[in-house]
């Protein structure tokens, strides 16, 4: 068995989403032998702990194990060359066209869900005027400053956190014009010691204003997740968000429908308070993946108020919906990264 034999074996391993084998797709970076029974393989996989890429890696191990070879795997996708956040694999923006659709709730649970899978995660609350992520994760520590005047973010639930809420008083409003917002956001992006992250989740404010433009122009975004509720008013505003990302050539990973169905804790019945199927239809009309629907459930509100993301509750159906969402978002990030090779 030599290197070319191993490469030929790997042609039987398919990427389930790109529809070809990993050799033809140039997903095999290198093959290096340690001894006659152990080989080190570097794969161009860019979405750590995503279900699809985990399955690809497992299939590589199984394929070689059938031939009596132990495969030691590593993953590396060439970086974008951006000087901003060079040690962050994937920057994912979570957006909504309007407020009140639960975008921050989705951001927090998405980030916590990825961290719970084992990924290295940061959560950046970019809502300058209404930052509430620290409350939603019960973060009582504040950032520390280094001698070089960089910022060391606090951590909670395995996530590194940054928010404007850490920088102002609890009840102090932020009354700034656009240039000041741009300056502060740029500092919070570039002066924070995020370290090596698999995912940085950015909770954008609602709408299409200065903050969003700063993020799109400054950060090397892998893609965005658009959050809506089923009702038409929310869909109309979400459409504006899609147009914003399109004009800045930012991939949209997919659509998430929040508050899709109310599950009554007393009668057990389900009620479509905000309508039904709007988010899924919106995704279909725009030829975008539908990442999942999150029920309207009191436990989600309670988890946000108490600083305990519901995604971490392994016995919760709603937590399960958020865990599925986390996996779907990671899968889509991986598709984007692999398509860029």
Residue set of the binding site for ATP: 97-104
Q: Which string of DSSP letters, residue by residue, matches 134-199?
A: HHHTT-----EE-TTS-EE--EETTEEEEEGGGTS-TT------HHHHHHHHHHHHHSB---SEEE
Q: Which residues pair with 202 in a beta bridge?
A: 93, 124
Annotated binding site: 97-104
- Cα separation, 154 vs 73, in Å, equals 31
Distances (CA, A) of 254 to 5, 47, 94, 95, 228: 39, 16, 10, 11, 11
> What kind and span of H or E run contains 3?
helix 3-10
SS3 content of the chain, % helix, strand, coil (to 5): 35, 25, 40
What SS3 string covers 238-299? Answer: HHHHHHHHHHCCCCEEEEEEEEEEEECCCCCCEECCCCCCHHHHHHHHCCCCEEEEEEECHH
- Cα separation, 219 vs 190, in Å, equals 9
- Cα separation, 252 vs 226, in Å, equals 7
Residue with tokens 């799109």: 216
- Cα separation, 35 vs 71, in Å, equals 11
- Cα separation, 2 vs 31, in Å, equals 10
Q: How many residues does the chain have?
A: 341
DSSP classification of residue 4: H
Under 8 Å CB-to-CB from 219, ≥6 apart: which residues? 84, 85, 91, 93, 189, 202
């Amino acid at each position: 068995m030599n290197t070319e034999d191993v490469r030929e074996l790997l042609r039987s391993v398919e990427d389930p989403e790109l529809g070809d084998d990993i050799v033809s797709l140039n997903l095999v970076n290198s093959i290096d032998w340690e001894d006659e029974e152990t080989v080190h393989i570097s794969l161009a996989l860019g979405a750590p702990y995503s279900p699809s890429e985990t399955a690809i890696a497992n299939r590589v191990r199984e394929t070689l194990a059938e031939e009596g070879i132990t495969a030691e795997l590593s993953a590396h996708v060439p970086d974008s060359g951006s000087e901003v956040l060079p040690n962050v694999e994937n920057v994912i923006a979570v957006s909504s066209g309007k407020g009140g659709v639960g975008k921050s709730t989705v951001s927090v649970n998405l980030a916590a869900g990825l961290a719970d899978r084992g990924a290295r995660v940061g959560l950046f609350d970019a809502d300058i005027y209404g930052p509430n992520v620290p409350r939603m994760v019960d973060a009582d520590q504040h950032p520390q400053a280094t001698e070089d005047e960089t910022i060391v973010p606090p951590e909670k639930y395995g996530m590194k956190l940054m928010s404007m809420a850490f920088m102002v008083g609890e009840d102090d409003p932020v009354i700034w014009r656009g240039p000041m917002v741009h300056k502060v956001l740029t500092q919070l992006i570039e002066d924070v010691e995020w370290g090596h992250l698999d995912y940085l989740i950015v909770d954008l404010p609602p709408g299409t204003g200065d903050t969003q433009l700063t993020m799109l122009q400054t950060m090397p975004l892998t893609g965005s997740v658009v959050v809506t509720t089923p009702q038409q008013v929310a869909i109309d505003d979400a459409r504006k968000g899609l147009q914003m990302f399109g004009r800045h050539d930012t991939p949209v990973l997919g659509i998430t429908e929040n508050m899709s169905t109310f599950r009554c804790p007393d009668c057990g019945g389900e009620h479509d308070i905000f309508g039904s199927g709007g988010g899924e239809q919106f995704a279909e009309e725009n030829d975008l993946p539908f990442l999942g629907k999150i029920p309207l459930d009191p436990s989600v509100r309670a988890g946000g108020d108490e600083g305990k993301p519901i995604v971490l509750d392994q016995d919760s159906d709603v937590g399960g919906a958020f865990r599925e969402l986390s996996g779907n978002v990671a899968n889509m990030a991986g598709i984007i990264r692999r398509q860029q090779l």
